[in-house]
Amino acid sequence: MKLSVFRHDRSSQMPKVTVIIPTFNCAEVICGAIDSVLAQSMEDYQIVVVDDGSGDNTRQVLERYLANPKVTYVYQENRGLPGARNAGVTTSHSEYLAFLDADDQLRQDALELMTEGMSKTGSAWCLIDILKIKQSGEQTQRTAIPSGDPYYGILREDFIRRGMFFRRESFLASGMYDERMKYREDWDLNIRMFEKRLPYTYIPQPLYLYTWREGSITTGKRAQVLAFTEMLLRKHHKRLADTGDREASVIYSQMEWGLARDCFYDVRDYPRAMRCAFESMRYDFSISRLLHAMTYQLHRLSGQRPSSSGN
């Protein structure tokens, strides 16, 4: 891995927080992300922008920030979002790590509140809410922590709206981002954090401003998202189910069934759909699930609109 690092000369004292901003062809929006960090109510931070092989004028756009001692620019050949985030981590040495996407922003008091919350509790990571911004308006989306064991909860659903703030030593202990996971990388990391029983702090405020853009990495390429979802299920859910954990087996079966349905109807990937359906039945055979699928198809072919729910 070869990194080109451009930074202003600064003192040897490291900041408390490093905000890592990966970018790939986001020259039009990245200034908003950087400016939202520079406007933070706390000052003990640095920004590491990781240019993941952009082909646009990102470098030229960032020129005006490079004289700022708080800003470091890193260029690397394209490795994908997880690899760009990890590159930012290896460039930093701060106590805390924050991850901000190039087309998003932080609320002005975000770093201050998350740092205070983590310092008071000694927790390993911080969960927050987000403000989802679309052309049609804004909506606050809450992190709904399920009752019971959150580890099984995170296996059922990635209920975390944003887990973007970590104690550095805990993030490294978790294994960092899995660079094979080009999608679903956050869910993968969240599962590992809960599996290691690393304590968390939840701040029920929308500190992260998430901008929804048509065609972005999270709104496009549905088939690839489903493919990496299958990869995640085999990595975590199947592994746990194979240990004889009955609850994990049921969850795995239900998740595979849901994935089979999505592959069948959303992207018409029939081989993957059949593979996932077979895997679901192998781990928790259900006559009712099969009957529901048959009934759904019959209603669909007849032009009716049945419920798509099924376990």
Q: Which of 157, 183, 211 is the last residue of a domain?
A: 211
**Does residue 216 belong to any structural domain of this protein?**
no
Number of compact structural domains in the chain: 2
Q: Which of 180, 211, 242 is the last residue of a domain?
A: 211
Same domain, yes or no: 257 and 122: no
Q: Which of 191, 211, 231 is the last residue of a domain?
A: 211
pLDDT digit string, tens, across residues 165-176: 999 999 999 999
What pLDDT sits at residue 303? 60
Same domain, yes or no: 13 and 141: yes
What pLDDT sits at residue 310? 53
Same domain, yes or no: 105 and 229: no
* 3-state SS string for the chain: CCEEEEECCCCCCCCCEEEEEEECCCCCCHHHHHHHHHCCCCCCEEEEEEEECCCCCHHHHHHHHCCCCCEEEEEECCCCHHHHHHHHHHHCCCCEEEECCCCCEECCCHHHHHHHHHHHHCCCEEEEEEEEEECCEEEEECCCCCCCCHHHHHHHCCCCCEEEEEEHHHHHHHCCCCCCCCCCHHHHHHHHHHHCCCCEEEEEEEEEEEECCCCCCCCCCHHHHHHHHHHHHHHHHHHHHCCCCHHHHHHHHHHHHHHHHHHHHCCCCHHHHHHHHHHHHHHCCCHHHHHHHHHHHHHHHCCCCCCCCCC
What pLDDT sits at residue 304? 54
Same domain, yes or no: 133 and 256: no
pLDDT under 50: residue ranges of the chain = 308-309
What pLDDT sits at residue 56? 96
Q: Which domain holds residue 292?
A: 222-301
What pLDDT sits at residue 288? 73
Q: Percentage of the chain with pLDDT > 70?
A: 87
pTM (predicted TM-score): 0.89
Q: Are 66 and 6 in contact (CB under 8 A)?
A: yes
What pLDDT sits at residue 286? 81
